[in-house]
């Protein structure tokens, strides 16, 4: 029997347009299609006729994408319009999404499969709230590239100063996002300036045209080709001799003979064959619709997932997620919803709203519910386990939707962050303080910051962050942190160094070295670090901090992306040789209590942001690594200028 390989997708760019109302998204797409000769003559004639009926002076190219009657009458985009075109260099699928706030849910739908997002900004109005909302959603969805098209430049006399002003506005906002590849192009979609070819009306602009950027952007597919995930969609049993499991490979790849595991049962077997439309395949990859057969007959049904034996997703009925609420009726935490994840459908509750995101400032706000178009971080519990990966790692198994079971209306779209890592109390509460919640003196009411951190950051010229150096005694935490601080200080960066020995002279002078005292020490330091953080500083903390739960507690005090965990380590024999404070000698002599990692537990970080092995990395190299990471994360400006 001849086996064939699954077809490989050609170079294809999926992109979405987004922005505020009347920024010209549909006009831009119409101009792009028109000037690349991607529309037929009869289509153009139809649009010319529709333009005359609407009283337009010329041809309204926006009508190429505004296909609904209501859209043409109101001259707005309501639904997502998909268009296909190609140039000699690349093929494209466009999702033209609505700009109106009430249709933000449609923007989420259109952007969910995009490799690149085009955010349009009206040169007259600048960066508006809806533009920010769409940029934030783009970041949440993990879209790796953004092109900011500053449109209607003809209405501001092709002003370079206005373009630079808008670019500065957007850069200030986008510094808080995870998208790093952001480019800007000034255009006039109506007149075609810089859309397909460079316009001599803006000689000051030296970048390529909008189309050039689309054709040359380095787009790697967002599909995960490593982690094999196959949600079973349908069981095929045409006769007693054949039993196959049909579906689409969500991520990774699969070949006959591979060892696999079936979730949730946990039963294992091997792949007998991979069947395509035209017969057996040598391999199926992400995006391929195939039927799998197995060597053993197992009880497998719709909603189950087939994975590799040694590469299994998280199997839990609780997880954290970002939720985009898409319904006019607000989220009700007391009622059940249906959660649709891959091919699995389960009942779910939104247990907790950790915070709501203010899309103008990206600040976190306390909330008891989410309304239409609001975005928040939540905890969800499902009636039975789901099989997921973090959205950042695997889009296919990290996304889900919530459906109202009574109306069958999709009410929310979600991106999974991971399983809930809520800190738990010890069996003996007297042994260690409870770090689940922050203690508050009864009767004390929280007062907001007099000068917000954002204002301080703007004045300082850099962002605030907490860099947490953890590791066993003698690893080099303090040495590295002190040099990092010195280098930052010399560059004009506001810093604060909190060191274990210093805080035990005063702030924590009443604490010993029992497990409970060690945890209380870190709790206090975390609160102090947050205070200096809100003052706009880069706070460097050097503490053994042996317990994972304590470090997680500190991380939870800070916004996403503002906590950098650095694990500084070396082999124990090397640390005992160094012994700069003679603690290991004193431990051996019984003069001090057991040291973490030697005679007492030290919980190595599961996934630190940086891992520095000082047995092979010099202090100077370690400092350079930390500084480079702070620059990469946008915390401090590049030393190169």
Q: What angle do CA 533, 537, 539 make, to 5 degrees?
A: 70
d(CA 412, CA 324): 5
Cα–Cα dist 379/556, whole Å? 14
**Active-site residue flag, 545:** yes
Give the chain's largest Cα–Cα span: 95
Under DSSP, is residue 253 helix (H, G, I), strand (E, B) or coil? strand
The Cα 519–Cα 514 span in angstroms is: 9
What are the backbone dihedrals phi and psi of residue 618, each rounded to the nearest 5 degrees, phi first? -70, 160
Element (H, E) at 551: helix 548-556
Contact 370, 330 (CB under 8 A): yes
Q: Which of 545, 598, 607, 618 is catalytic?
A: 545
Does the N-terminal peptide bond of residue 123 adopt cis geometry, omega within 30 degrees of 0? no
| 3-class secondary structure, 577 | helix
The answer to whether 549 and 434 are in contact (CB under 8 A) is no
Phi and psi of 255, rounded to 5°?
Answer: -135, 155
Which among 173, 165, 90 has a CA at the least distance from the CA of 138?
173
Query: How many CB atoms within 10 Å of residue 133?
Result: 23
Whether the Cβ atoms of residue 377 and residue 354 lie closer than 8 Å to each other: yes
Pairwise CA distance, residues 504 & 416, whole Å: 40
**Pairing between β-strand 91-96 and β-strand 81-86 as defined by DSSP bridges:** antiparallel
Map tokens 């199997």 to a residue.
Answer: 315
User: Alpha-carbon distance 230 to 248, whole Å?
Assistant: 7
Residues 66 and 27: their CA atoms lie apart, in Å, by 10
Q: Which pair of tokens denotes residue 78?
A: 């309501």
For strand 337-341 and strand 268-276, is the pairing parallel, antiparallel, or unpaired?
A: unpaired
Residue 309 CA to residue 350 CA, distance in Å, equals 31
Distance CA(563)–CA(505), nearest Å, equals 25
Buried b (16+ CB within 10 A) or exposed e, 378-395: bbbbbeeebbbbbbebbb
> Mind telling me the catalytic residues?
545
């Amino acid at each position: 029997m001849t086996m064939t390989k699954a077809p490989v997708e050609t170079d294809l760019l999926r992109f979405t347009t987004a922005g505020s109302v009347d920024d010209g998204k549909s006009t831009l797409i119409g101009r792009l299609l028109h000037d690349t000769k991607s529309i037929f003559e009869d289509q153009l004639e139809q649009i010319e006729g529709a333009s005359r009926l609407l009283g337009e002076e010329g041809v309204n190219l926006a009508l190429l994408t505004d296909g609904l009657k209501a859209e043409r009458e109101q001259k707005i985009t309501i639904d997502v319009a998909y268009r296909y075109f190609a140039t000699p260099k690349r093929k494209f699928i466009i999702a033209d999404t609505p700009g109106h706030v009430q249709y933000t849910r449609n923007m989420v739908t259109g952007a969910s499969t995009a490799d690149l997002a085009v955010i349009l900004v009206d040169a007259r109005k600048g960066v508006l709230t809806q533009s920010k909302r769409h940029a934030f959603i783009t970041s949440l969805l993990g879209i790796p590239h953004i092109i900011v098209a500053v449109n209607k430049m003809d209405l501001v006399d092709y002003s370079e100063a206005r373009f630079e002003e808008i670019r500065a506005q957007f850069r200030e906002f986008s510094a808080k996002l995870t998208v790093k590849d952001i480019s800007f192009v000034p255009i006039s979609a109506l007149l075609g300036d810089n859309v397909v070819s460079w316009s001599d009306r803006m000689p000051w602009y030296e970048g390529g045209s909008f189309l050039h950027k689309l054709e040359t952007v380095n787009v790697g597919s967002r599909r995960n080709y490593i982690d094999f995930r196959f949600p079973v969609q349908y069981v095929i049993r045409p006769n007693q001799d054949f039993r196959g499991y049909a579906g689409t490979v969500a991520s990774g790849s699969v070949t006959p003979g591979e060892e696999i595991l079936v979730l949730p049962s946990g039963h294992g077997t091997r792949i007998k064959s991979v069947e395509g439309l035209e017969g057996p395949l040598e391999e199926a990859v992400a995006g391929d619709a195939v039927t799998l057969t197995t060597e053993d007959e197992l009880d497998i049904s719709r909603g189950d997932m087939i994975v590799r034996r040694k590469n299994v997703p998280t199997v839990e009925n609780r997880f954290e997620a970002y939720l985009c609420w898409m319904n006019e009726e607000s989220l009700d935490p007391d009622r059940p919803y249906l959660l649709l994840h891959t091919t699995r459908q389960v009942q779910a509750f939104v247990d907790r709203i950790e915070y709501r995101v203010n899309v103008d400032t990206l600040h976190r706000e306390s909330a008891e519910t989410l309304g239409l178009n609001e975005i928040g971080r939540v905890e969800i519990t499902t009636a039975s386990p789901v099989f997921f990966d973090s959205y950042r790692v695997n889009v296919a198994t990290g996304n889900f939707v919530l459906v109202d079971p009574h109306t069958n209306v999709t009410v929310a779209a979600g991106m999974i962050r991971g399983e809930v890592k809520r800190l738990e109390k010890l069996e003996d509460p007297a042994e260690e303080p409870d770090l689940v919640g922050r203690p508050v003196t009864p009767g004390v009411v929280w007062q907001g910051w007099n000068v917000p951190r954002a204002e301080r950051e703007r004045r300082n010229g850099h962002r605030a962050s907490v860099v947490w150096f953890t590791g066993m005694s003698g690893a080099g935490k303090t040495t590295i942190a002190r040099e990092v601080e010195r280098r930052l200080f010399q560059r004009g960066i506001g810093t604060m160094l909190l060191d274990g020995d210093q805080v035990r002279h005063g702030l924590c002078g009443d604490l010993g070295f029992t497990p409970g005292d060690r945890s209380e020490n870190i709790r206090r330091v975390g609160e102090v670090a947050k205070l200096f953080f809100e003052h706009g500083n880069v706070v460097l903390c050097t503490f053994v901090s042996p317990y994972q739960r304590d470090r997680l507690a500190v991380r939870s005090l800070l916004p996403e992306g503002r906590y950098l965990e650095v694990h500084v380590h070396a082999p124990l024999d090397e640390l005992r040789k160094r012994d700069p404070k003679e603690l290991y000698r004193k431990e051996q002599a019984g003069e001090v209590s057991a040291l973490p990692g030697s005679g007492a537990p030290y919980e190595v970080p599961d996934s630190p942001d940086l891992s520095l092995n000082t047995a092979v990395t010099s202090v100077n190299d370690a400092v350079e690594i930390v500084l480079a990471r702070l620059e990469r994360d946008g915390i401090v400006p590049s030393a190169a200028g």
